[in-house]
Amino acid sequence: MHRDLYNTDHRAFRDTVREFVAREVTPHRERWDSAGLIDRTVWAAAGTQGLLGLAAPQQYGGGGSDDFRYRMVVIEELLAADAASLNAGLSVQDDLVLPYVVDLGHAAQRQRWLPPLCAGEAIGALALTEPGAGSDLLGIRTQAKPRAGGWVLNGQKTFITNGVLADVVVVFARTDPAAGSRGFTLFLVDATADGFRRGRKLNKIGLRGNDTAELFFDDLELSEGDVLGTVGSGFGHLMERLPRERLSIAATSLASAQVVFDQTLDYVAQRKAFGKRVDSFQNSRFVLAEMATELDIAWTYLDRSIRLLSDHLLSPIDAAKSKWWMSDLQQRVVDRCLQLYGGYGYMLEYPVARAYADARIQRIFGGTNEIMKEIIGRDLVR
């Protein structure tokens, strides 16, 4: 696995993560996938081990480090253990929800939610997508209307990662239909509030262990103190934080592709066809050579992007490039690796089959890859 990016501290942290995964994750992964739900206890264990809130301030129980390489270590070790579902949930917590609360939360919000989120005692979700609006965020219909002392929230969200377990939800809502992109606001919603309702736990083809749900808001009353950031600036707040989300997706894609490639390299050295090792055929060697080269090149670009993010210099354009390229590469690599397994690659008992199903969503969420290309293209021709 790629190591050039890491120093002694990261390698020591990797030992901690690897021990945690062996103890708290590997024995339970199959059960979580079968149930479509991950035990809350593993979240608390991750918090106790210091694997959550890595970039959150230490005064709230976080790690206090903007170095994304620590997050990368967690991502790599979870994917190496075939725990993509848990990785998806923890990534939403650390790369989406926590940055919103850290950056935009007022003192009371930070004090209430950061300690339990960092400790794994609370689970967070980000509610953007709706049945009729995914990548087109300006098309959302969930609405918060002003009332005396606050707001009344009504609407529906779908495909919400951590939606079943979430204790707190960052909700994107329309607050001024006439104001265009300035007519949206973020709210921090307590899942115990009257008017908050969970719908179905959605049945997905991949990431089977991660809970994905519909959420409903029925005349849910919010105070002014529940506004996250500035009223009317919700869309801008999203745009400012999308680079981290998209880099997290890119990092997951590349780490998964690398794990599958490494496993396949071992497999074709052991598997025989026509009396020969599969890796002895020229076609196999050419396919492996192409994948190895593409992965090495991708790691170089991702390493650069991670350093830019840690220095707060990663642009939305660079993040879009990383997201679409790495997720497309993941799809290509996993598909070609599965082909080298032959019929066994189609069996769910093999990690490559599960990785194949898990990989497909990477090109969709966080903004579809078509949207990523539009972002890059607009920047080129503006």
Q: What count of other Cβ atoms lies within 10 Å of the Cβ of residue 21? A: 21
Catalytic residue of the set 121, 214, 245, 290: 245
Distance (Å, rounded) from C-alpha 163 to C-alpha 225? Answer: 23
Contact 79, 1 (CB under 8 A): no
Distance (Å, rounded) from C-alpha 235 to C-alpha 141? Answer: 14
Distance (Å, rounded) from C-alpha 327 to C-alpha 372? Answer: 11
Phi-psi region for residue 36, left (φ > 0), alpha (ψ -120 to 50) or beta? left
Distance (Å, rounded) from C-alpha 289 to C-alpha 67? Answer: 32
Question: HEC profile for 320-355?
Answer: HHHHHHHHHHHHHHHHHHHHHHHHHHHCCCCHHHHH
* Encoded tokens for 142: 């969930």
Distance (Å, rounded) from C-alpha 371 to C-alpha 185? Answer: 22
Cα angle value 96/98/99 (rounded, 5°): 70
Distance (Å, rounded) from C-alpha 109 to C-alpha 228? Answer: 8
Exposure pattern of 220-241 as b/e (b: 16+ CB <10 Å)? Answer: bebeeebbbbebbbbbebbebb
Distance (Å, rounded) from C-alpha 246 to C-alpha 166? Answer: 21
In DSSP terms, which residues pair with 228 in a beta bridge? 186
Distance (Å, rounded) from C-alpha 181 to C-alpha 186? Answer: 13
* Encoded tokens for 327: 């997720």
Is 290 known to be catalytic? no
CA 371 to chain centre: 18
**Among candidate residues 3, 88, 90, the one with its CA nearest the CA of residue 52:** 90
Return all residues near 232 (Cβ < 8 A) that are at least 6 apart.
175, 176, 179, 182, 183, 184, 185
- Residues annotated as catalytic are 245
